Structure 1
Amino acid sequence: MSQPRLRVAICGAGIGGLTCALALAKYGDVQVDVYESASQLAEVGAGIGIFPRPWKVIKALGIDQELLQRTESEVKDGPVRAFRYRKSDQLKGVDFYTLVTNGTLITIHRADFQQVLISHLPQSTRMFFKKRIRSYTQDLTGPVELLFEDGSRATCDLLIGADGLKSSVRTALLNERAYWAQAEGRPSEAARALDAIHPSWTGQVAYRALIPAAKLRACNANHSVLTTPMQYLGKNGFVIAYPISQGRAINFVAFVMRHDLEGTKFNGPWMSATDVSAFASNFQTWEPEVLMLISCVDRPLQWAIHTVKPMKSFVSGRVALLGDAAHAMCPHQGSGAGQAIEDAYILATVLRHRGTHRGNIERALQVYDNVRRPLALQVQERSRLNGRYFTFADDIDWERLSESQLWEKLQQLGNRFTRNWEWAWTTSIDGSVQEALSMLESR
């Protein structure tokens, strides 16, 4: 058996890591090893949304039809109603905007997505569980050497950190960058690198749950979220809910927002099981449609929303970051998973290019960084802004507006949603692919 052209180690078996593994493993001359810190893949994260840009990647990987069998979403071209918005922090809520996208927002359970990705990996892709990376070393000529928390070691030509918000690979990469910056007399750059290691709390807490559709239907057979993705907005919080798993469940998330606490430390576990009383009081004066949803929630998961500070680069030598490890963002554009998918596909594109080999991996990774980092950081900021828009975090005294003034302001706000979001359906992943290929072939 011939030696592989490249040996790639991927730390993290989430959506981004598995997408990258599948995109690379389709080419027989790349050996892919996936290292996952958990003992098994778990159903964490509930529902995710996929816009047309990353959906095109999924089609290219040949898993679109199988995914569609696990969702109630239908792929449509042209204008599609993605979300309906209501101002709901009052006794009688009001519909004020419908987000219309060009192409469907596909909603699917994260666990279903992972299972499909794993089922399509070839036998040559090796998966190792209970493997958390501690550190790595790299020099100019030899392989990248990996050291795991259990004391075991491995080598590769390229390390990809897809290990999420608390990424060990990011920690090692930024420590490496800080070391060299300090050694070369750039102390301020070293300080910035060290500061970016630790995630930053946004002042936001999400309460996530899956509601059996039958349970909600028993309360109200005509409830909006049984058929329509909804967002219920209000001051300092909002609720998003939509059907998943072929309509058998409702993905529910309630956000409690304290924008004044952004950048402060969150006290307590970042994720924990809790009960409805932990957040229900924040919505007690909201409209009945929201209260009915909350009444159907049982044992939600509490997530303190943290993000990664914008990084100078997603790569260092023969090490690259993707997904949350590189740019963990607020979930308010439904694009965290989609951005990880795009990262994975562009990274795989530059690595499988006929001109990429062991001797020029760093050049290929620089192309990946040049193409993906600007857009990913832009989406990260747009997601933060959406969170402010959804909670009326501006200087308007909404309570003092007349009925006509309120309607006018709500329409302006809705139009702002579209302007801030339309990149997701007015641009294409094809443009990023061509940009990456042009960079590779012009050097």
Structure 2
Amino acid sequence: MSSGTKFRVAICGAGIGGLTVAVALSRYPDIEVEIYEAADKLAEIGAGIGLFSRPWEVIKKLHLEEDLLKTTDIRPTDSPVPSFRYRRSDRPEGIEFYTLVTKGQLMTFHRPDFQNVLLRRLPPSYRIHCSKRLRSYSQRLGGPVNLLFEDGTRTSCDVLVGADGIRSAVRRSLLGEKAQWAQSENNWSEAADMTAMIEPSWSGTNAYRALINADKLKLRDPNHRVFTQPTQYLGRNGYIIAYPIAHGRMINFVAFKSQHHLEHSKYPESWVCPTDKTEFAAMFRDWEPEVQALLDCVDKPLRWAIHTVKPLNSFVSGNVAILGDAAHAMTPHQGSGAGQAIEDAYILSLLLGHPLTTRATISRALSIYDHIRRPFALKTQERSRLNGQYFTLSSPELDFDAVPEQEMLSKLKILGKVFTKNWEWAWMSSLGGSVQEALRLLESSG
């Protein structure tokens, strides 16, 4: 560590959250950063990523907007725009019943393009270590955080940021550490709660993801609506979302199959694996022709068993913090997982980079991060869960079973208003209030 270094930050995980916090910290030259990635090379798993206006604020503040806009045909705006069209599609003739109008455009990107923009913005001094899967960490009050990797190597840092995804080793160590502290004070109930939060649980939903070649879909249906308008096709216990990415060369396709009664059960198979579309196409066999056109063009889908992290009672411990999926992995039904990781990263970087944050006051900065971000992220997690019920016509609020056509149409219109109200925080609120409150708390504690 050079004489001009304030402290050293280790980031576990080089996904969207980890790279965003690295880029955000690069604004503070007195902070050293090293990134540790479990994979043997950097490659984002997944297809599309969507950002509403809140995380887009961060993109602009980090001056990433220009590079990201080169990867998409969508242009940001502050005007009200139609973001998704909604159809009830589990019938031979679909019904369009709602248009989601948002303030500002949903910005959609090909996930590897997004990651590459972040990678190009890292300073040359930042080192990325691949094939470095964390086993555990240990820390003592006032001392460094010691990291042990699965290959037996060790290193240390002043701040550890866990951005290592839903199966986070940092979360496992953090909650294990807190459970031990609780046990040492004979607080067995709290220790048990901490231990129960370590493992993710299945949401009861599987997602079947694929990229559809746009030219292939044009041959099948040259006037398909998804070329010009992101669309969600809803039905009982499942739905499909499709929208163009990569300058319109590809269509991001995701089909969801939900068994809500199995929420929180243990998933019996591999979480992510290649599959054949026959595994899920049968569920959509009687759905409208637009859906059939999409299904006909699906090649090599991946099945993702959607897991979530139980609501945590802390994102921090001493000089360690977790963010993104490591802290609050959520269902994808509000398209906000990546956006929440970006917001986490920005608030955390502001607090760590502040002149009042020194090696001696790191834990105070992290406690403010937890105070600001955890309640909001957990509320978003629950809102996303509710959207999953709305989109699969499974909400207890609205019963769609065996209702007359006219009543069904009326309920669909109500449904659109209900999920909009549940979702409008994503484009009607701003991160600015959280930034101001975080800085106020830090400065008042100095």
TM-score range, shorter chain: over 0.9
Partner of 1:143: 144
Q: Which runs of 5+ in 2 are unaligned?
A: none
Partner of 1:400: 402
AA aligned to 1:14 is G
* 8 Å Cα contact 1:161-1:325 kept in structure 2: yes
Partner of 2:347: 346
* 8 Å Cα contact 2:15-2:44 kept in structure 1: no
Within-5 A mapping of 1:43-442:
43-395=44-396, 397-442=399-444
AA aligned to 1:6 is F
* 8 Å Cα contact 1:162-1:321 kept in structure 2: yes
SS state at 2:381 partner: helix
SS state at 2:247 partner: helix
Stretch of structure 1 that moved more, 203-212 or 35-44: 35-44
1:31-80 Cα offsets, whole Å, 9 max, x none, are 01000000111241110110100001011111111101101211111201
1:398-418 Cα offsets, whole Å, 9 max, x none, are 353233212210110000111
SS state at 1:279 partner: helix
* 8 Å Cα contact 1:51-1:104 kept in structure 2: yes
AA aligned to 1:200 is S
SS state at 1:313 partner: coil
State the alpha-carbon separation in 2 of the partners of residues 200 and 400 from structure 1: 32
AA aligned to 1:259 is H
Cα 1:43–1:322, aligned 2, differ >3 Å: closer, same or farther? Answer: closer
AA aligned to 1:426 is M
State the alpha-carbon separation in 2 of the partners of residues 399 and 28 from structure 1: 60
SS state at 1:299 partner: coil
1:293-315 Cα offsets, whole Å, 9 max, x none, are 01100110000000000000000
* 8 Å Cα contact 1:225-1:242 kept in structure 2: yes
State the alpha-carbon separation in 2 of the partners of residues 249 and 177 from structure 1: 45
* 8 Å Cα contact 2:44-2:115 kept in structure 1: no
SS state at 2:205 partner: strand
State the alpha-carbon separation in 2 of the partners of residues 27 and 213 from structure 1: 43
1:295-336 Cα offsets, whole Å, 9 max, x none, are 100110000000000000000000000000000000000000
1:8-45 Cα offsets, whole Å, 9 max, x none, are 00000000000000000121101010000001112411
Cα 1:397–1:317, aligned 2, differ >3 Å: closer, same or farther? Answer: closer
State the alpha-carbon separation in 2 of the partners of residues 291 and 329 from structure 1: 29
State the alpha-carbon separation in 1 of the partners of residues 296 and 427 from structure 2: 35
State the alpha-carbon separation in 2 of the partners of residues 161 and 413 from structure 1: 37
1:97-136 Cα offsets, whole Å, 9 max, x none, are 0111111110001111110000010111111000011111
State the alpha-carbon separation in 2 of the partners of residues 397 and 338 from structure 1: 32
* 8 Å Cα contact 2:94-2:288 kept in structure 1: yes
* 8 Å Cα contact 1:99-1:417 kept in structure 2: no
CA shift at 1:6, angstroms? 1.5
Cα root mean square deviation, aligned: 0.9
SS state at 2:99 partner: strand
State the alpha-carbon separation in 1 of the partners of residues 75 and 61 from structure 2: 18
* 8 Å Cα contact 1:48-1:108 kept in structure 2: yes
State the alpha-carbon separation in 2 of the partners of residues 423 and 317 from structure 1: 31
Q: Which runs of 5+ in 1 are unaligned?
A: none
CA shift at 1:426, angstroms? 1.3
Stretch of structure 1 that moved more, 304-313 or 401-410: 401-410
Partner of 1:17: 18
* 8 Å Cα contact 2:238-2:255 kept in structure 1: yes
* 8 Å Cα contact 2:212-2:298 kept in structure 1: yes
AA aligned to 1:398 is F
1:387-434 Cα offsets, whole Å, 9 max, x none, are 000011135553532332122101100001110001111111111110
CA shift at 1:277, angstroms? 0.6
AA aligned to 2:433 is G
AA aligned to 1:297 is V
* 8 Å Cα contact 1:72-1:243 kept in structure 2: no
Stretch of structure 1 that moved more, 1-10 or 162-171: 1-10
State the alpha-carbon separation in 2 of the partners of residues 399 and 224 from structure 1: 28
* 8 Å Cα contact 1:16-1:337 kept in structure 2: yes
* 8 Å Cα contact 1:368-1:436 kept in structure 2: yes
State the alpha-carbon separation in 2 of the partners of residues 73 and 439 from structure 1: 37
SS state at 2:4 partner: coil
CA shift at 1:204, angstroms? 0.4
AA aligned to 1:361 is I
* 8 Å Cα contact 2:200-2:308 kept in structure 1: yes
Q: TM-score, normalised by structure 1?
A: 0.99
Q: Which runs of 4+ in 1 moved over 3 A?
A: 394-397
